[in-house]
Amino acid sequence: MILDQFETMISFANACKYSSLNYVDYEDVESAEVIRYDDSLLLLYDKSNNPSEIHYATNDLSVLLDGIKTYHLEGLIKFIPFNNILQFELYDFKIHCIYQDYFLKDLKSASARLSKAYDIRFATLEEAKEISEISKACSGQSRGFFGETEAWIKEWLAENEIIVKYINGKIVGFCCVSIYGEGTTLWIRELAVHPAFQGKGIGKSLMEMGIHYGLSKGAQKSFLAVDIENKNAIRLYTYFGYEAKENDVEVQLIKK
C-alpha cells in the first residue's frame, strides 16, 4: 500500500460510522493487503502480524461480516461496538479483550500517593532489544497483550520516552510514557515487569516515576487503558486515583 492510497482510505474511514482505522498511522498498515474497497466497505488484511489483523471501515457491520466470510479472513479485529459482540460471535469470533479507558482528572492529586522522588532513568535505543524481551516475557499475562517487538520499542522512543527500572545493572521493568493534548495529558501507554521480579513493588514504583515525569512536564491529567479482567493492574491504577470511563471501551475480537 502506498501513502497516497492510505490517505484516501483514511478519508473514507473517517466518514464511516464504524472503523478500526481512526488511530492508525501509515506504518501500522503499510504491509496490509487491500481486500475490498468500494462505497460500502474498506477491508484490509495484514498477515505480517501474529495474529493476522483485519482492518475495516463501513456504515453497515453486516456488510463487513459478509466480506470477512466471503474472503475467509481470520485473526484479530478491533473497535467492535460492545452492543454488536453477539453479531460477530455468530460468525465464530470470540472476545479477545475489552479495554477500558481510565482517567486521572487532576494529576497533582496523585502527589499524596508518591512515596519519594526518584532518579528517573530513561531507555536508550541500544536497550530496545532488552525492553522488547521483557515485554514478550509478559505475553499472555493480560488478555490481548503479546509483547512488543524491538522495532516497536525503537519507534516509540523516536518520539516518546520509556522509563526503566534497573536491578543489578539489568532492566527488570519499564513504563512507556507520552505527553499529548498540547502538553496537558500524561499517557501511560504500557507498563511491564519481568515475571521473575513481579510482586516486589516494581510496578508501583514505575507508576510513581511515570506520574513524576508527567508532573515535571506540566501535565495536568492522565490517561491509560487496561483490559477489564486485568484486576491487578486496575488495583494499581485506582490506588493512584484513576477512574474508569464506564461507557468508553474498545472491544477486540478474534477468529481462529
In this structure, the answer to whether residues 121 and 216 fall within a common structural domain is: yes
Task: Decide which of 39, 69, 92 is a domain's last residue.
Answer: 92
In the predicted model, what is the mean pLDDT of residues 139-143? Answer: 89
pLDDT tens profile 53-99: 999 999 999 999 999 999 999 999 999 999 999 999 999 999 999 99
DSSP, collapsed to helix, strand or coil, labels residue 103 as: strand
What per-residue confidence (pLDDT) applies to 101? 94
pLDDT digits 0-9 by tens, 90-103: 999 999 999 999 99
Shared-domain flag, residues 106 and 87: no
Residue 79 shares a structural domain with residue 156: no
pLDDT confidence band for 24 (50 / 70 / 90)? confident
pLDDT at 111: 84
Name which of 44, 99, 86, 43 is nearest 225 in CA terms: 99
**Same domain as 106, residue 87:** no
What pLDDT, in 10s, does the model give residues 5-21? 889 999 999 999 999 99
Question: What pLDDT does 115 receive?
Answer: 76
* Cα–Cα dist 220/140, whole Å: 33
Domain count, the chain: 2
Are 54 and 14 part of one and the same domain?
A: yes
Average per-residue pLDDT for the chain: 94
Q: Which helix (H) or strand (E) is 255 found in, with range?
A: strand 243-255
- Residue 77 domain flag: yes
| Phi, psi for 221 (deg, rounded to 5) | -145, 175
Say if 194 falls within a structural domain.
yes
**CATH number for position 178:** 3.40.630.30
Distances (CA, A) of 240 to 2, 133, 163, 205, 222: 44, 28, 18, 12, 11
Host domain of residue 38: 3-92
What are the CA-CA distances from residue 88 to residues 60, 70, 78 (Å)?
13, 15, 12
203 in Cβ contact with 193 (< 8 Å): yes
